[in-house]
Amino acid sequence: MVLETIGGLVIPDSGQILLEGQDITCKKIQHRRIGLVFQDHAVFPHMTVSENVGYPLHGKHFPAAEKSLRVKNIAEKMGIESLVHRRPATLSGGELQRIALARTLIQEPLILLLDEPLASLDTHLREELRKLLRGLNKKRANHHPCYSRL
């Protein structure tokens, strides 16, 4: 419930949610700059990996070439560039989790909230995703002095 409240899916009964000193309690989800990744992946089965990853960019005022480049770049960072033309039904749990994470990261959130991102993965995939998350965290920490490390 806490992640959903911070992310904007649940309206709190009282109090404020502050992000970088600004009250975001009443801001719309898409204006919070918070990334939220759930355990169940929530990918669109009728879309390719590329379409799933790029979905949050719909309605944004980016040229098509820039959207395509952003999808390509985040796919490379997440190690899913070879999967971009596949459909979710053909992917493993670890691949689906990377897609969900890429779809969130393409929005360039200020913070990333993860709901048990490693719970449904086998030991090998869990360690692989843990390394990936640590790497993302280190990159973020290098650009933001207040960002804590995992």
Q: Are 75 and 104 found together in one domain? A: yes
Same domain, 55 and 80: yes
Is 127 part of a structural domain of the chain? Answer: yes
Is 145 part of any domain?
A: no
* 133 shares a domain with 88: yes
Which of 60, 63, 92, 97 lies closest to 78 in space, CA to CA? 97
Q: How many CB atoms neighbour CB 88 within 10 A?
A: 19
Is residue 116 located within the same domain as residue 43?
yes
| Same domain, yes or no: 21 and 48 | no
For the chain, give me the number of helices (H) and strands (E)? Answer: 5, 4
Mean pLDDT of 111-116: 85
**150 domain residue, yes or no:** no
| Three-state secondary structure readout of 67-104 | HHHHHHHHHHHHCCHHHCCCCHHHCCHHHHHHHHHHHH
φ and ψ at residue 87, rounded to 5 degrees: -100, 150
Distance (Å, whole) CA 89 – CA 106 = 22
CATH at residue 90: 3.40.50.300
Same-domain status, 75 and 90: yes
Distance CA 93, CA 6 (A): 26
Domain limits for position 15: 1-32
Q: Are residues 65 and 132 in the same domain?
A: yes
Number of domains forming the structure of the chain = 2
Residue range 1-38, pLDDT digits in tens: 888 899 888 989 999 999 888 999 999 888 888 888 88
Reported as type and span, the H/E element at residue 36 is: strand 34-37
Please report whether residue 81 resides in a domain: yes
| Per-residue pLDDT reduced to its tens digit, 53-112 | 999 988 788 888 999 999 999 998 888 899 999 999 999 888 888 898 899 989 888 888
58 and 47 part of one domain: yes
